[in-house]
Amino acid sequence: MTSLLVIIVLVLLAVALWQLTKIFDLTQVGSSSDSSQVANDKDNNIQGYLMFGFLAFLYVFTIYGLLTWGNLPLHTPASEHGTEVDRLMNITWVLIFVVQAITQLLLHYFAFKYKGKKDQKALYFADNNKLEALWSIIPAVTLAGLILYGLYAWTNIMFVDEDEDTIVIELYAQQFKWTARLAGEDNVLGKANVRYIEGVNTLGVDLADPNAQDDIVVTELHIPKGKKVQFKFRSQDVLHSAYFPHFRAQMNCVPGMVTEFAFTPTYTTAEYRELPYMIEKVAHINELRAKQSLDLIAKGQPGLDPYTFDYLLLCNKICGSSHYNMQMKVVVDTPEDYKKWLADKTTLVNEVKASLEKPADDASGEAKSNDTLAAANEVAVK
Ligand SMILES: [Cu+2]
């Protein structure tokens, strides 16, 4: 509402200003000054120099932006293919930067050089084949090179050797959370379909499928360092996009189909936290949080906890009202820690069994799925 009022006030101010200039023009009628609507040499000169002014603004703002926000892009990639993605990205940036700097200079310089002059006629110039060939071929070859390099990098990244030893994990997207399913000892995921969704079985796994017997469902994802993880994505409702910024990986999650992406993590969470750039970044975030905490405490509210870095899986497709908060913590462990983490996990089949036994003792006879899941976990741990 406030912003609407501000907009209305701004519009009214603009209208008032416009009316005032009109009145001012009317007061000048009959005076000796040049009231012609055609630009004279003086006007053209001013416009010509303004062109240079704008060029200077562009350059100064670009340098300012690089200095102020240049540290914000993602830093060290945490996956094997990440360096390849970053190289492609950096080449593209450098190319764009150089071409932009030169073409803007030429554009503004020529606008100044060929500004209007009294009695000067424009030269009629039909075409120049040499020039046209030059400015068509150079961008075409550059772009083709860039695209071919991109395709080559993409094919390399997406290729998974069938004989390669990988870990298969399903990521299930729904408004607004992620759930992971580990393929278990056989490393094959059991079939799944939305029709099988019932109670604890929130991913719709076909519990009769032999491959599903050892599948494990988790809400916090752990993966081991140095081993290729093959992710298979499904979506329950709308389009989502699985985005692992630190691993330079992103893939759409499409209802009705399975999409894939595989990568090999190269830093454990603990190692990544120790990178000098990350230590500095976390210290800066905590400085800001400490300041904000003081304000909050002064208002009688609880302060903020200090931040520690964690890898995240985010949703990168605007999928609804809580899209911004659709995330899952991803922990990269050493292979030994990964084994330890995996050791006490219960299979989905056992969870379902436990949940079916539970309501029998339950007077109400029906337990909500979350409660059932917790209950099944409890039974399993015992
Ligand atoms: Cu989403």
List, for residues 321-376, the tens digit of each pLDDT value. 999 999 999 999 999 999 999 888 888 888 888 888 876 554 444 444 444 444 44
Q: How many CB atoms sit inside 10 A of residue 229's CB?
A: 20
Burial of 358 (0-12, 13-18, 19+ CB in 10 A): middle
Distance (angstroms) between ligand 1 centre and the Cα of 222 equals: 21
Query: Ligand 1 mean position to 342 CA, how many Å?
Result: 27
Contact 338, 224 (CB under 8 A): yes
Q: What is the pLDDT of residue 33?
A: 60
pLDDT of 312 = 94
CATH architecture of 166-271+309-345: Sandwich (2.60)
Name every residue whose Cβ is closer than 8 Å to that of residue 166 and which is 6 or more positions away in sequence.
160, 187, 227, 228, 229, 230, 262
Distance from C-alpha of 140 to C-alpha of 147, rounded to nearest angstrom? 10
Question: What separation in Å is there between the alpha carbon of 317 and the centre of ligand 1?
Answer: 6
Between the CA of 322 and the centroid of ligand 1 the distance, in Å, is 8
Per-residue pLDDT at 373: 45
Instruction: Measure 326 CA to ligand 1 centroid, in angstroms.
Output: 6
Instruction: Determine the Cα angle at 123 with ends 122 and 127, to 5°.
Output: 130
Is residue 78 scored above 90 in pLDDT? yes
Cα 224 to Cα 228: distance, rounded to the nearest angstrom: 9
Least confident piece of the model among 223-232, 243-252, 294-303: 294-303
Candidates 257, 258, 240; CA nearest to 314 is 240
Q: What local confidence, expressed as pLDDT, does residue 381 receive? A: 39
Q: Between residues 368 and 280, which one has the greater pLDDT?
A: 280
The rounded Å distance from CA 163 to ligand 1 centre is 33
Note the pLDDT tens digit of each residue in 133-178.
999 999 999 999 999 999 999 998 988 888 888 899 999 999 999 9
Residues 282 and 322: their CA atoms lie apart, in Å, by 26
The reply to whether the predicted model has a pTM over 0.85 is no
Q: What is the mean pLDDT of the chain?
A: 87
Other beta carbons within 10 angstroms of residue 264's beta carbon come to 18
Tens-digit pLDDT profile for residues 103-124: 999 999 998 888 888 888 888 8
User: Sorting pLDDT into bands at 50, 70 and 90, what band is 198?
Assistant: confident
Q: How far is the CA of 233 from the centre of ligand 1 (A)?
A: 12
The alpha carbon of 49 and the centre of ligand 1 are apart by a number of angstroms equal to: 50
Residue-level pLDDT at 359: 60
Q: Is the pLDDT of residue 271 over 90?
A: yes
Cα of 238 from ligand 1 centre, angstroms: 8
190 alpha carbon – ligand 1 mean position (Å):
24
| pLDDT on residue 360 | 54
Strands 259-263 and 240-244: unpaired
For the chain, give every residue range classified as CATH 2.60.40.420: 166-271+309-345
CA of residue 237 to ligand 1 center, whole Å: 9
Nearest Cα residue to 261 out of 160, 334, 349, 351: 160
* Number of C-beta neighbours around residue 299 at 10 A: 7
